[in-house]
Amino acid sequence: MAEKLNVAVIFGGVSNEHEISCLSAANVVSILDRDKYNVYVLGITRDGKWFLTDATPDQIRSGKWLDADSRNAFISPDRGVRGIYVVGGKNIKIDVAFPILHGKNGEDGAAAALLKLAGIPQVTTTMTSAACSMDKVITKILCERAGIIQAGWEMFYSSSLLKNVGGAADRIEARFDYPVFVKPVSAGSSVGVVKCSNRATLEAGLLEAARHDFKVLAEEFIDGSEVEVAVIGNSEPTASVCGQIAPSQEFYSYDSKYKDESSKLYIPAKISDDISAKVRNTAIEVFKTMECQGMARVDFFVCADGRVIFNELNTIPGFTDISMYPKLMAHSCCAGGELADRLIALALAEDRI
Ligand SMILES: Nc1ncnc2c1ncn2[C@@H]1O[C@H](COP(=O)(O)OP(=O)(O)O)[C@@H](O)[C@H]1O
Ligand SMILES: [Mg+2]
């Protein structure tokens, strides 16, 4: 039997998606096949302290993982370690890392950068691709150049919004009718996303989004259904079937994503085969344009007139019990442990950048 690989799962982190990372990591830890992998679990607290933990998936899910036996330990950037530096203990070599760190200080390229310095292959995309994909404006500019259709947008620096929110609202009103969507440029899980239906809510929304990031995006409202695709691969990525979300609230907010159980997912999406093919092809185009590796979930609006509008992509998509990425993959090619095997194989593949 082949020798087992040492896999590090890294979760938590200094991010407003910390809680979601715990939910995702609990699933990742439970699907990894113990006949193939020795699994080492590294938790990062909300204030950035690293621990190697013996927590069970339930303890990770509940956020109470520090109750379990946990030692100070972290991924060392020193390639002499090539793995986990255990404070006061023996270092552990790591063959592949599974950083499931959503949002800031992880998905934004930080995790990929650390693992690159450390010389450890990892299942998520490259540092550059992750950083560009996290920034919704850079994504828009690159995808626009590739001819991918998106909502009209305007960008503002938060510092200038604080000085002159009225000027920003004037510029938005000159271009778009209400409602207008306002969002932080580099957030996720709908944190700071506001639907604004008049001048007063627009100004309040801009200031709210500005609290979350140094750049803010205003977008024209797209009246369509939300359709998502899971993409997997390196140089020859493949797209899953399309999934569709019917949010329980006015839009797919943080609460409707994670708090109430009434948002509905339809797999496959209720769209024609033609539209589905268009969505899946565009998802692959986005994946390639953003130079993604391994995995990404690509999100769209599909309008009643058949227009397919790219919204955003996530390079470390949710792996929670209700998350689209694993559900779409399960419908299309591989579920549970097999999905983890596939992502690990891609991390170690010859065509990985
Ligand atoms: N331009 C838009 N038109 C209509 N709905 C939007 C628009 N932008 C965002 N939304 C709604 O807000 C949700 C969150 O926005 P999104 O851009 O996906 O940010 P996040 O990265 O936080 O998920 C979307 O799933 C959708 O429900
Ligand atoms: Mg989204």
For 176-235, how does the pLDDT look when each residue is reduced to its tens digit (9 = 90+)? 999 999 999 998 888 899 999 999 999 999 999 999 999 999 999 999 999 999 999 999
Distance 257 CA to ligand 2 centre (A): 10
CATH assignment of the domain containing 243: 3.30.470.20
Q: Are residues 163 and 216 in the same domain?
A: yes
Residue 254: predicted pLDDT: 83
Considering only 35-49, 168-182, 243-257, which range has the smallest mean pLDDT?
243-257
Q: Are residues 40 and 29 in the same domain?
A: yes
Last residue of a domain, one of 220, 253, 277: 220
Answer whether 154 contacts ligand 1 (Cβ < 6 A).
no
Q: Residue 105: which pLDDT band, with cuts at 50, 70 and 90?
A: very high
Q: Are residues 164 and 200 in the same domain?
A: yes
Q: Of the ligands numbered here, which is closest to the C-alpha atom of 104?
A: 1
Distance 102 CA to ligand 1 centre (A): 17
In the chain, which ranges are continuous DSSP H helix? 18-31, 57-61, 110-118, 127-134, 136-145, 158-163, 165-175, 199-212, 254, 273-289, 324-332, 336-347
Looking at ligand 1, which atom is closest to the CA of residue 190? 22
Answer whether 254 contacts ligand 1 (Cβ < 6 A).
no
Distance 224 CA to ligand 2 centre (A): 14
Answer whether 104 contacts ligand 1 (Cβ < 6 A).
no
In a domain, 271, yes or no: yes
Rg of the chain taking only CA atoms, in angstroms: 20
Q: pLDDT at residue 247 above 90?
A: no
Q: Are residues 109 and 27 in the same domain?
A: yes
Q: Are residues 164 and 139 in the same domain?
A: no
Mean pLDDT over 279-297 rounds to 98
Answer whether 186 contacts ligand 1 (Cβ < 6 A).
no
Residue closest via CA to ligand 1's atom 16 equals 190
Last residue of a domain, one of 180, 197, 220: 220
Q: Are residues 266 and 142 in the same domain?
A: yes
In a domain, 128, yes or no: no
Q: Are residues 22 and 69 in the same domain?
A: yes
The whole-chain average pLDDT of the chain stands at 96
Q: Residue 135: which pLDDT band, with cuts at 50, 70 and 90?
A: very high
Looking at ligand 1, which atom is closest to the CA of residue 192? 22
The best mutation among 181, 217, 253, 265 to test binding of ligand 1, ranked by most ligand atoms within 8 Å of the C-beta, falls on 181
Distance 32 CA to ligand 2 centre (A): 27
Give the Cα separation of 168 and 177 in Å (integer).
14
In a domain, 317, yes or no: yes
Looking at ligand 1, which atom is closest to the CA of residue 221? 3
As a dihedral over the C-alpha atoms of residue 138, residue 140, residue 142, residue 145, rounded to 10 degrees, the angle is -150
In a domain, 127, yes or no: no
Residue closest via CA to ligand 1's atom 2 equals 221
Last residue of a domain, one of 220, 253, 269: 220
In a domain, 208, yes or no: yes
Distance 15 CA to ligand 2 centre (A): 16
Taking alpha carbons only, the member of 97, 39, 101, 49 closest to residue 72 is: 49
> Among all chains, which residue has been given the structure tokens 């203990």?
89
In a domain, 315, yes or no: yes
Q: Residue 268: which pLDDT band, with cuts at 50, 70 and 90?
A: very high
Q: Domain tally for the chain?
A: 3
Residue 1: predicted pLDDT: 66
In a domain, 58, yes or no: yes
Q: Are residues 138 and 279 in the same domain?
A: yes
pTM exceeding the 0.85 threshold for the entire prediction: yes
Q: Are residues 288 and 321 in the same domain?
A: yes
Mean pLDDT over 65-81 rounds to 97
In a domain, 293, yes or no: yes
Residue 190: predicted pLDDT: 87
Mean pLDDT over 89-104 rounds to 97
Q: 115 lies in which domain range?
A: 5-122
Give the Cα separation of 68 and 348 in Å (integer).
31
Number of H helices, E strands in the chain: 12, 16
Residue closest via CA to ligand 1's atom 25 equals 252
CATH assignment of the domain containing 89: 3.40.50.20
CATH assignment of the domain containing 200: 3.30.1490.20
Q: Are residues 104 and 139 in the same domain?
A: no
Q: Are residues 180 and 327 in the same domain?
A: no
Q: Are residues 201 and 58 in the same domain?
A: no
